[in-house]
Structure 1
Amino acid sequence: MAISLNQVILLGNVGKKPEIRVFQDGGLMADFSLATTYSYKPKGKDEYVDVVDWHRVRAYQNVAKTIESYVDKGHKIQVIGQVKNNNYEDKNGVKQYGYYILAERVILLEKSGAKSEPQPQNVENPESMAFNDVPDIPF
């Protein structure tokens, strides 16, 4: 039995305001770019050089809702997820290759308020809510 793992952890800054899409079935998707930076000192030089890598990040459902409410351009965040292939044929029949990061978890690293007022949840019968619907207690 082969064992494998596809896990990515990125810590960086959001490049532009996340694009939020709502699907016909009510599903939610957030799409944004994330910049990560590393530095190195070239041989024979006295100064470090910064290199920026850009990553396309997508999130769905609850993670997308968090991004929609709290993440904006420039925010420092940590993304934990998987690398996903985004290969397709363009309209000319040429194969295009790419990838994106499927965010399974987003950690906000800067204190910032909600971008908009949270919308009240529509719960018809609160007693029928499952125990799993209660948010985690932070202690």
Structure 2
Amino acid sequence: MSLHGEYDTDNVFAKMLRGEIPCVKVFEDDTALAFMDIFPQSKGHTLVIPKRAEARNLIEMPGDLVGSYMQRVQKVAKAVSKALEPDGIVVTQFNGAPAGQTVFHLHFHIIPRYEGDSLKGHSHGQQADMSELNALADKISSCIE
């Protein structure tokens, strides 16, 4: 999909927001939903999506909603840092398929980095163990301030 287009209300993240597809929740309020990536690039890989906008990417996000959404991205990144104590954190977001976007609902990736561990590819195809994801989600959730 290109950078511009129509929002698909049947994308996997929209279905999660409606409760049609389960996710391993880390955080949720009226602005954002954060959950574990089931195809993690690193232990603790978390996604944060906006709830109040049908935006395919950052360019389409209404300006009046960006600030509150980014505060949630930061809040979750801080919790990942506190809970998992990684050596670094990648916070990234893709706009359009040529940039690497695979789900066309705005989302930020919070990817902990650990010294000596190589980063798995985006959407690498190997699903994580759900019990491990639940344990990580609980640990991160307990550190959200």
TM-based fold match above 0.5: no
Whichever structure has more strand as a proportion of its residues is: 1
TM-score (norm 1): 0.25
Whichever structure has more helix as a proportion of its residues is: 2
Higher relative CO (Cα under 8 Å, sequence separation at least 6) belongs to 2
Larger radius of gyration: 1
